[in-house]
Structure 1
């Protein structure tokens, strides 16, 4: 029996045990059965005996086959606006890569800041930050835009793990990119595929997070982290090469080779600026965030900047639509059937002796460090976000504060291990760090990032009136 079959048998056993446990007082049989299917589905995303989309479809099929939900209800997740906002953003982000616009912006930053290794780090981080609002695929953003730029710099200075020269500059840059990528993911509702999922879970509990609301809450602690992380990395894990005067000229040469901005690059640039503007002004203008994303996609299709075949070939987007829709539907049904309110009330009673501040800090620490057990941010959000939000609100935490902070922390923990996010295996696989060093740096920077978001972020959120 192979590993996948063992995992599948384990899931069947867990599902059966949960299904046949007597329904607790205060819940209907349907609510408990829905919980059993949801928990088993989430565990299947973590264990992954099959791809996430396949496991999610199994959960949906079981919910209908066992009579817990009618098929029309089970398919409602595919009509959710959030699903199509994130899908459209996936499709559009491909344009940053295929047109070369992402590389052009990266080389421009390097040409301005690349006079030393610290400046190079800031140039790469700023490139990541610039494209984060419209690139929900962290793997595409890091693998398609940032990683090629980083490798170009490392190669220029012969920083190569195979030659034993990884510490010349590559080891420093790769960790700056990795640590800061988690921050850029945390700063916008559309900068990581799991963020809209968290926002949807919050909405099911009566808390509606807007694009501008999320960005405003994250901007101050996020920018502070992006400033401090390369600086602290430079002091604690310094590169051997401090001055890089040649890099600015190399970047200028690369830009010269690329020539003038092409028509397709210009179309992508216009789309990017237009989308971010409408996401900020959307609530005032009455334009839904999903409409903005679809408008951007339609514009790129009409201008032939991207093709419909390219949209159909964007496997990661269609894969995300599938598992995302199923989880959104299941979360909505858990709330509708009364499980979330029952669970939060039960937890509130057990935590009645603690204040809401203590409760939410403990929840955030558990939420962050439990990611060492996870290989997917989306699976982590699916498993814990709703429950932790319900506990925080029941303890007296302001609902909007709790929802946004848990959403932000749903990204911060992606800087921990070599399997903690999509970019992690890409960057770790470059070979510039040992596994031990990678984990050590991840833990050390958690001791910097968490206090910044708790204390500086807390003060900022107080000014915003979130608590």
Structure 2
């Protein structure tokens, strides 16, 4: 009797991973056989195909982000443009600002300063569940100034503090999750997306947004200007803990035992170390120089380099720490590659062509406020289908900024509206940013609750920026 031999699909040519790699390559290849649209150079059309295929590979997650970008850069250099035109992204100061900021954050983490600050805040203000929400949010906010990755910031530093709190109050994923763990878990994600939007170095894609805005709209955004423009967003940090507290209330309201836990851990840490002091002073110095760069004329990237130099000279961090940081080199590859590909597209006139096309198809006479509403919706709604914030910004930011160019909407308010909401809209789902799966995977929060809260947070942010934000930007002279 014959037997049917079943071959697992994961071992065959059509495995899930293989398809996730093959489909983007096939998609990019179509641009080499389909005729370029009228008015667009053939090279620009082919390069856009490679760019789009690379973004699709990011979305499907057949390869890690850095690997997908490496494939795209290699294909562009081999098939369309000189490799030097793509590698220009790795000489961009914007790329190095984010990379060196991550290096500097290693000192913040390794010295133990971040943990000490968190414990001090918990000991001082952690009297209630709501108070703990604000304390952890403020801790995350401080880290967002120099740590541009949500998984590293919350997953590596803030959430471990929260998990210590859960242990003290007996709140586990499958045993009393609503006692406190569920509230703080979902709150931390919501707060982190807002915190990451408030600083240019808060999220890697923030710098990608301003790079696209510079290429398409001609705007120039410094670290200081970004934080000045983001002032209305700080209102969100005040409102969100209370809103989540009402929507998804913890069973515990008073948590005095948590303060006792923090006090004991502070005693265990002992007195402040030399490395913590040096790390803290360096951190404050960099913040001051970043905020005053328009006055001092000291480049923000140079400031980051100086910060890391101080930490290396004082042994706060060692080169081995930097060399071992996969996050640092991964971001260098994907960020520099994306910037390089977009720069090559810009050089070939792709974004100018896209602006002309959009101008031909859009109706005339759209009011300014209506235009801003459309811009906000374009920055938010597509995020539902993107599991990667990087892929989302790389895909839609050029399109939205081209729309801004066509409509004649005020450039700076539109730039900030897009940049802020693209990050904050990560709250819509539990997969909108790399931190989401990490926190969702703890098992504390139900998906439906997460999505409801995320929709509320995104809606609130949109309303704040379309009302208070636009008025504020008008007052400070951005339009």
Query: Of the candidates 348, 359, 380, which is equivalent to residue 359 of structure 2?
Result: 348
Structure 2 unaligned residues grouped into runs of 5+: 1-13
- CA distance in 2 between counterparts of 1:371 and 1:166 reads 28
Task: After superposition, give the CA deviation of every residue in 1:29-88 in whole Å (9 maximum; x if it has no partner).
Answer: 12212211211111111112211222212111211221x211222221111111111111
Q: Are residues 1:285 and 2:308 paired?
A: no
Residue 191 (structure 1) aligns with: 202
| 1:393 to partner: Cα distance | 2.1
- CA distance in 2 between counterparts of 1:270 and 1:178 reads 28
Residue 452 (structure 2) aligns with: 440
Greater Cα offset, 303-312 or 428-437: 428-437
- CA distance in 2 between counterparts of 1:241 and 1:57 reads 49
Q: Are residues 1:393 and 2:405 paired?
A: yes
Greater Cα offset, 74-83 or 304-313: 74-83
Residue 105 (structure 1) aligns with: 117
Kindly report which structure 2 residues correspond to 1:451-462, keeping only aligned pairs within 5 A, or say none: 451-462=463-474
Residue 434 (structure 2) aligns with: 422
Instruction: Rate the CA distance shift 1:74–1:234 in 2: closer, same or farther, 3 A.
Output: closer
Residue 6 (structure 2) aligns with: none
The CA RMSD measured in Å over matched residues stands at 1.4
Kindly report which structure 2 residues correspond to 1:355-366, keeping only aligned pairs within 5 A, or say none: 355-366=367-378
Kindly report which structure 2 residues correspond to 1:242-253, keeping only aligned pairs within 5 A, or say none: 242-253=253-264
Counterpart contact for 2:119–2:262, Cα < 8 Å: yes
| 1:461 to partner: Cα distance | 1.2
The SS at the match of 2:230 is helix
Residue 278 (structure 2) aligns with: 267
Counterpart contact for 1:86–1:193, Cα < 8 Å: yes
Tell me how many residue pairs correspond in the alignment: 464
Residue 339 (structure 2) aligns with: 328
Residue 88 (structure 1) aligns with: 100
Greater Cα offset, 105-114 or 179-188: 105-114
The SS at the match of 1:24 is coil
Task: After superposition, give the CA deviation of every residue in 1:76-113 in whole Å (9 maximum; x if it has no partner).
Answer: 11111111111111111122222211111111111121
Query: Of the candidates 30, 33, 46, which is equivalent to residue 33 of structure 1?
Result: 46
Greater Cα offset, 374-383 or 20-29: 20-29
| 1:447 to partner: Cα distance | 2.4
Task: After superposition, give the CA deviation of every residue in 1:311-332 in whole Å (9 maximum; x if it has no partner).
Answer: 0011111011111111101111
Residue 30 (structure 2) aligns with: 17
Task: After superposition, give the CA deviation of every residue in 1:315-353 in whole Å (9 maximum; x if it has no partner).
Answer: 111011111111101111211211101111211232233
Residue 52 (structure 1) aligns with: 65
- CA distance in 2 between counterparts of 1:456 and 1:6 reads 46
- CA distance in 1 between counterparts of 2:132 and 2:174 reads 22
Query: Of the candidates 269, 276, 280, which is equivalent to residue 258 of structure 1?
Result: 269
Residue 182 (structure 2) aligns with: 171
Greater Cα offset, 194-203 or 115-124: 194-203
Q: Are residues 1:311 and 2:322 paired?
A: yes
Task: After superposition, give the CA deviation of every residue in 1:233-269 in whole Å (9 maximum; x if it has no partner).
Answer: 2222211111122222322222121111111111110
- CA distance in 1 between counterparts of 2:254 and 2:398 reads 48
| 1:8 to partner: Cα distance | 2.3
Kindly report which structure 2 residues correspond to 1:222-237, keeping only aligned pairs within 5 A, or say none: 222-237=233-248
Residue 379 (structure 1) aligns with: 391
Task: After superposition, give the CA deviation of every residue in 1:386-408 in whole Å (9 maximum; x if it has no partner).
Answer: 11111112101111222122111
Query: Of the candidates 161, 165, 185, which is equivalent to residue 149 of structure 1?
Result: 161
- CA distance in 1 between counterparts of 2:73 and 2:162 reads 41
TM-score (norm 1): 0.96
Structure 1 unaligned residues grouped into runs of 5+: none
- CA distance in 1 between counterparts of 2:241 and 2:98 reads 30
Counterpart contact for 1:355–1:396, Cα < 8 Å: no
The SS at the match of 2:429 is coil
| 1:20 to partner: Cα distance | 2.0
| 1:419 to partner: Cα distance | 1.5
- CA distance in 1 between counterparts of 2:29 and 2:297 reads 47
TM-score (norm 2): 0.94
Instruction: Rate the CA distance shift 1:74–1:449 in 2: closer, same or farther, 3 A.
Output: closer
Query: Of the candidates 397, 417, 421, which is equivalent to residue 409 of structure 1?
Result: 421
Counterpart contact for 1:356–1:392, Cα < 8 Å: no
Counterpart contact for 2:247–2:453, Cα < 8 Å: no
The SS at the match of 2:174 is helix
- CA distance in 2 between counterparts of 1:281 and 1:339 reads 35
- CA distance in 1 between counterparts of 2:249 and 2:136 reads 17
- CA distance in 2 between counterparts of 1:24 and 1:357 reads 32
- CA distance in 2 between counterparts of 1:416 and 1:128 reads 20
Counterpart contact for 2:376–2:462, Cα < 8 Å: no
